[in-house]
Amino acid sequence: MSAEDPNALASVEFEVFGQVQGCYFTKYCKELAEQLGVTGWVKNSKKGTIVGKMQGNKPELDHMIDWLKTTGSPGCKIEKCELTNWMYLARLDYHDFSIRF
């Protein structure tokens, strides 16, 4: 993806691997997304990872991605974060950021 236009809306799906369940990862993820104005969703997957989709301006998404790859919630151990299905959007598909079950 090019970062020519910081106001371009983008969408990306993510999956975080490691010890990421049982440490309020989804709660912290939602709080950060709301602070940054990023929309989408996050949830615990059946295989022990955290999965989700986020949409917003590229700089805010980059901030979220950095958090997903390196920081996460207190007490978690992130092994890696995979990003898939990058795309540019004309408008956001979501109005807020939610935790799915």
Q: How much is the average pLDDT of 39-49?
A: 98
Question: Is it true that domain 9-99 has CATH number 3.40.50.300?
Answer: no
pLDDT tens by residue, 8-35: 899 999 999 999 999 999 999 999 999 9
pLDDT at site 1:
47
Question: Over 80: is that where the pLDDT of 69 sits?
Answer: yes
In the chain, the percentage of residues whose pLDDT exceeds 70 is 96
pTM (2 d.p.): 0.93
Is residue 50 classed as helix, strand or coil in its secondary structure? strand
pLDDT-derived band at 81 (thresholds 50, 70, 90) equals very high
DSSP track, 5-44: -TT-EEEEEEEEEEE-SSS-HHHHHHHHHHHHT-EEEEEE
Residue-range domain boundaries for the chain: 9-99
